[in-house]
Amino acid sequence: MIKTYDSFSEAYLGILNDIFNNYDMEETVIKSEKYNHASLIEKLGYKFVIKEPKELDIYPITKSEERNKVIRDYIDKEVILFDDGNDNSDGKMSELSKIWKIISNPDGTINSNYGLMIYHTKDAGNLKHQPDQGYINQWDWAKQRLMHNMTTLQAILHFNRTTHQWTNNKDQPCTVFIQFLIRNNKLHLYGYMRSNDAVYGTPYNISYFIRLMHRMKNELKTRYPNLEIGNYTHNATSLHIYKRNFDKVKIMLGL
């Protein structure tokens, strides 16, 4: 049975509790030779729905005011760097969190800036078969598909790219792709994750995705004036909590 929630906060507490108390697997994974081994608990093939998330419903509220502030502050700073398409060439992403420095490429850049991948990277197109189109970004591709056909199944935005598939790459984007879908005048969004850290990934990923839902709805309003926000559906192959973060999870759940 797919769990459905009325808000981001309700969903976040629900999945934290579900993983913490009803996990499918307990594993030790090797992040990389330099990042050591990490033990985790995980739910596999996990899916849940947030019903019609509001534009201001981007900050999950937990039982810990301290954690709420940390999450909110990080979201506010990260979204600016995401939208700017910062690839860490100036070190600003590393200043935001040390993890960006740990997983950076040999030249100091990063791959997993979601705004960089969908707004600033122009790699959608085929010059051989459609040379007049040129290359466009993922956002424009999805928006054009929706503008052309309200019921399209082609409004997909790719995050994890083939260029990320090199052996020593430590920054493999966790989101594989997201897909917009319009049905009954409602704009839905589906997120597909290969991997999702429930403490340091999920709250920030979904926060940005909810923003994208409302941005797309607003940009489509000229074409579809009656369009409203539908549901956000999250799909993760592995939704997990690292054991080193158990204390944080307990205070967020009020345990």
Strand partners, 187: 182, 229
Specify the pLDDT at position 29: 65
pTM of the model: 0.94
Give the start-end residues of each E strand in the chain. Answer: 3-5, 25-32, 36-50, 122-124, 136-137, 156-158, 175-183, 186-193, 196-197, 228-242
pLDDT of residue 246: 96
Residue 249's identity, in one-letter code, is V
Q: How far apart are CA 62 and CA 60, in angstroms?
A: 6
pLDDT of residue 255: 93
Predicted pLDDT of residue 31: 55
Q: Tens of pLDDT along the chain (255 residues)?
A: 899 999 999 999 999 999 999 999 887 765 554 545 579 999 999 999 999 999 999 999 999 999 999 999 999 999 999 999 999 999 999 999 999 999 999 999 999 999 999 999 999 999 999 988 899 999 999 999 999 999 999 999 999 999 999 998 999 999 999 999 999 999 999 999 999 999 999 999 999 999 999 999 999 999 999 999 999 999 999 999 999 999 999 999 999
Amino acid at 217: K
Is residue 41 within 8 Å of 19, Cβ to Cβ?
yes
Question: What pLDDT is recorded for position 22?
Answer: 95
Q: Which residues, including other chains, have CB under 8 Å from residue 92's CB and lie 6 or more apart? A: 81, 86
* Domains of the chain (ranges, CATH numbers): 49-236 (3.30.572.10)
Beta-carbon neighbour count of residue 108 at 10 Å? 15
The pLDDT score that the predictor gives to residue 222 is: 95
pLDDT at 61: 97
